[in-house]
């Protein structure tokens, strides 16, 4: 997982509304026929499995075609090239995570107390980041967009909403920035890949941080 990935194209920044975000251009996703949509979903699921098993640096159009049992030309027609595939894969992953936050089962989704949702958020995001670390690092925003990129704004806004419930007298916006820094992909890479820390230690630290911020017991 150490090979360099090609840089991602920088999409235009979407609306700040809390909704499922499209990372790519809207022109990339015309109204697909049902069979074409199923085909695309199958290719992305195959690519997700390959990234989880071998890392994003080993992802190729040929490998995705073989894993999905389709011709290589099908993958190229759908995504254009490897960078297009990587961008679509990140978009797919981001949408699934956002859908889980907005409408999935508790405690990650609605229906649980805010502190429980905060705990679940960090643990789920850490696991997702570790699983697709190469992909996350390849899509890192430029320094001038580090805090304004739409997916991060969405996640930070979600944390701020939970913090307003859990800590009514706190500065929810700044506390949300603090919590997001703890799950930053570059930091996760440093701690897991360069310092050799296990994911479990990062999860425990997240629970401790949430407990301190919300003045609750760690569970």
The tens digit of pLDDT for each residue in 138-184 reads 778 788 888 988 889 999 999 999 999 999 999 999 999 999 999 99
| pLDDT higher than 90, residue 196 | yes
pLDDT digits (tens, 9 = 90+) for 81-100: 888 888 888 888 899 999 99
Residue 18 has what pLDDT?
A: 38
Q: Where in the chain is the domain with CATH 1.10.10.60?
A: 25-87
Q: Which two tokens stand for residue 208?
A: 């401790």
- CATH assignment of 25-87, among 1.10.510.10, 1.10.10.10, 1.10.10.60, 1.10.1380.10: 1.10.10.60
**Going by C-beta distance under 8 Å and a sequence separation of 6 or more, which residues neighbour residue 91?**
22, 23, 24
* Lowest-pLDDT range of 32-36, 82-86, 166-170, 201-205: 32-36
């Amino acid at each position: 997982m150490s090979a360099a990935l090609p840089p991602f194209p920088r999409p235009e920044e979407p609306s700040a509304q809390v909704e499922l975000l499209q990372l790519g251009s809207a022109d990339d996703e015309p109204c697909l026929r049902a069979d074409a949509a199923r085909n695309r979903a199958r290719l992305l699921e195959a690519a997700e499995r390959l990234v989880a098993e071998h890392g994003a640096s080993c992802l190729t159009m040929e490998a995705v075609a073989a894993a999905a049992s389709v011709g290589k030309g099908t993958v190229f027609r759908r995504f254009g090239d490897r960078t297009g595939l990587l961008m679509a894969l990140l978009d797919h992953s981001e949408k699934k995570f956002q859908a889980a936050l907005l409408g999935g089962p508790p405690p990650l989704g609605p229906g649980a107390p805010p502190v429980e949702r905060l705990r679940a958020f960090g643990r789920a995001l850490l696991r997702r980041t570790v699983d697709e670390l190469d992909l996350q690092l390849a899509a890192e925003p430029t320094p001038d967009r580090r805090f304004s990129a739409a997916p991060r704004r969405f996640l930070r806004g979600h944390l701020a909403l939970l913090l307003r419930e859990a800590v009514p007298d706190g500065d929810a916006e700044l506390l949300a920035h603090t919590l997001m820094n703890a799950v930053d992909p570059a930091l996760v890479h440093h701690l897991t890949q360069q310092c050799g820390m296990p994911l479990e230690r990062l999860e425990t630290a997240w629970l401790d941080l949430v407990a301190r911020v919300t003045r609750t017991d760690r569970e």
